[in-house]
Structure 1
Amino acid sequence: MEETTHDNVPDRVRSAVSFALSRLVEISEGISRAADLERRFGQAGRYQADAFLNRSRDIESARATLAEFRRLAPANGVDPDALIRRFGGEPDLTPSPEAQAWLDDPRGPVIGHVVT
């Protein structure tokens, strides 16, 4: 049944969902690269936080597209999360504790303060 219902999703909607997911994957990969830099150069969380801040509008836009799809799809007989999984799934963009510390205070985490 999943195949049949997803075949009924208009191409423009499929494209919008695919684009939103691709954008989130791209952002996730950028955050991963930032984490790699942090491991090499120190400043844990700083570059990840910069990536989140620099791409915040893109994240919001992509998430809004997916939220609208999730809201409207069931009324049209489509399981939105099944289609999203079929496109590769939505990446987890939860900031690491170190990045969250930088996002909470742009001066950076307090030395010796343990993030919980």
Structure 2
Amino acid sequence: MTQQTNTQLQLKTTAPPAVEQHVAIFVHKLRDHERALDGVQRARGNGYILALEVRDRIENIAHCKAQLEEFRGLAKSNGVDANAVISRLGGEPDFVRFGAPATH
């Protein structure tokens, strides 16, 4: 592989530092929500209390996920592998395991 090919591969898995810092904020916020919900799940199980916590956090979680989706769109148009960047920054948690939010 040439030096140019190595550089191109590296560019595809990184974004400018300011962009990565911005993305990291939302990844860390999502991880904080995941840890909090995990604590409720361990303490109270998969019941109504967990559903209330999910409901209380769903708007903030959706906002963070929307920011990551925006990054994915911009990254794709700039030749950056957004999922690689997000994974390197801690990954996007899966909130499905916490169930649906309470409806009332």
Q: TM-score range by the shorter chain?
A: 0.7 to 0.9
Map 1:29-40; keep pairs closer than 5 Å: 29-39=35-45
Distance 2:9 2:53 in 1: 36
**RMSD (CA atoms):** 1.9
- Amino acid in the other structure paired with 1:70: R
- Amino acid in the other structure paired with 2:38: S
- Between the two proteins, the alignment pairs up a number of residues equal to 97
Query: After the TM superposition, which of the residue ranges 28-37 and 49-58 deviates more from structure 2?
Result: 49-58
Ranges in structure 1 where 5+ consecutive residues have no aligned partner? 107-116
Instruction: Tell me: CA distance 1:30–1:74, structure 2 relative to 1, closer, same or farther (3 Å).
Output: same
Paired position in structure 2 for 1:4:
11
CA contact (8 A) 1:2 1:82 kept: no
Q: After the TM superposition, which parts of structure 1 deviate over 6 Å for at least 4 consecutive aligned residues?
A: none
Residues 65-104 of structure 1 deviation map (CA, whole Å, 9 limit, x = unaligned): 10000111011110111111111211111144xx43x62x
Paired position in structure 1 for 2:71:
69
Map 1:20-31; keep pairs closer than 5 Å: 20-31=26-37
Q: Which has the higher contact order (CA 8 A, sep 6+)?
A: 2
Distance 1:28 1:95 in 2: 10
With structure 2 as the length reference, what TM-score do the two structures score? Answer: 0.79
Kindly, what percent of the aligned residue pairs are identical? 28
CA contact (8 A) 1:28 1:93 kept: yes
Ranges in structure 2 where 5+ consecutive residues have no aligned partner? 1-7
Paired position in structure 2 for 1:90:
92
With structure 1 as the length reference, what TM-score do the two structures score? Answer: 0.72
Give the helix-richer structure, 1 or 2. Answer: 2
